């Protein structure tokens, strides 16, 4: 391990120890998985993993979360939250993520209090500060700790540390919540979230790990890495995807020639 990276990790452990005890908001993604691992090393049994299950939480993420929890043997609680009932969420305005994060983290804070954890921590890193992320405001208002940001860890460094500690999540693509696939201003419904999840699972099963299915009404806009655009456009595979997407509920299926872009829906915002 690089000297500078090792120092950051030791600083991370010191930061976590200073909490005394912690409830980790755990999704099964790259960031929260490393945070949970480090919290266990720093605090031993004084760690609780809390997962909030919502209509926009992909099933494959839940399966990865369950696998890591079996490996780390950490107490875990799941909380169900109906995002569609959260005021301001389904309307899908630019502040959607703020309303959602407020509601979700309020439940995690409540769970942390029930089990006498001194604080709640999330896995956001310093790279998360560069994009339009209104959810960060909600995290700050609720006093959520972000230890990766406190010690200056980047996404790439989180991956390097995860690989060092042999966490299977180290090279997982990043997955935002399914609601982020729907353009701002288009109402979010349970049906649309189910269609998106089914369509993305189809692509995952076909080996396309870095991808998004953007939902524009009944039209699906597929984003994949530029390096595999020619592959996914092959006639036989294309027909297979179209047929499967129609079974999932889409009438039209398109391929974005610009390729995968994380947060591409933010392009519609003129004043962030």
Burial (0-12, 13-18, 19+ Cβ within 10 Å), 251: exposed
Cβ(178)–Cβ(56) below 8 Å = yes
Q: Could you say which of 100, 117, 177, 215 is catalytic?
A: 177
Mark whether 177 is an active-site residue. Answer: yes
| Exposed e or buried b per residue across 184-212, where buried means at least 16 C-beta atoms within 10 angstroms of its C-beta | eeeebeeebbebbbbbbbbbeeeebebbb
The rounded distance, in Å, linking the Cα atoms of 15 and 190 is 39
User: Any idea of the CA torsion for 92, 93, 97, 99, to the nearest 10 degrees?
Assistant: -90
- C-alpha span between 216 and 140 (Å, rounded): 32
Contact 59, 202 (CB under 8 A): no
Cα 100 from chain centroid?
A: 13
Catalytic amino acids? 177
């Amino acid at each position: 391990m690089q000297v500078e990276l090792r120092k950051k990790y030791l600083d991370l452990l010191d930061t976590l120890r200073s909490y005394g005890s912690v409830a980790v908001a755990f999704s099964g993604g790259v960031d929260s998985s490393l945070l949970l691992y480090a919290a266990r090393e720093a605090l031993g049994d004084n760690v609780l993993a809390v997962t909030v299950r919502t209509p926009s939480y992909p099933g494959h993420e839940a399966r990865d979360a369950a696998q890591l929890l079996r490996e780390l043997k950490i107490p875990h609680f799941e909380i169900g939250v109906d995002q569609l009932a959260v005021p301001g969420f389904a309307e899908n305005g630019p502040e959607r993520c703020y309303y959602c994060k407020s509601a979700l983290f309020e439940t995690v804070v409540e769970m942390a209090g029930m089990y006498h954890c001194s604080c709640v921590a999330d896995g956001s890193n310093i790279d998360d500060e560069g994009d339009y992320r209104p959810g960060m405001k909600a995290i700050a208002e609720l006093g959520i700790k972000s230890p990766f940001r406190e010690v200056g860890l980047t996404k790439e460094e989180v991956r390097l540390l995860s690989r060092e500690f042999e966490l299977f999540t180290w090279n997982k693509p990043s997955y935002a919540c399914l609601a982020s696939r729907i353009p701002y201003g288009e109402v979010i419904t349970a049906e649309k979230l189910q269609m998106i999840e089914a369509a993305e699972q189809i692509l995952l099963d076909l080996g396309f790990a870095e991808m998004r299915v953007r939902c524009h009404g009944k039209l699906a806009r597929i984003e994949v890495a530029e390096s595999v655009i020619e592959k996914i456009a092959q006639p036989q595979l294309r027909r297979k995807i179209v047929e499967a997407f129609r079974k999932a509920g889409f009438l039209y299926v398109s391929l974005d020639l610009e390729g995968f872009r994380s947060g591409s829906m933010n392009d519609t915002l003129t004043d962030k």
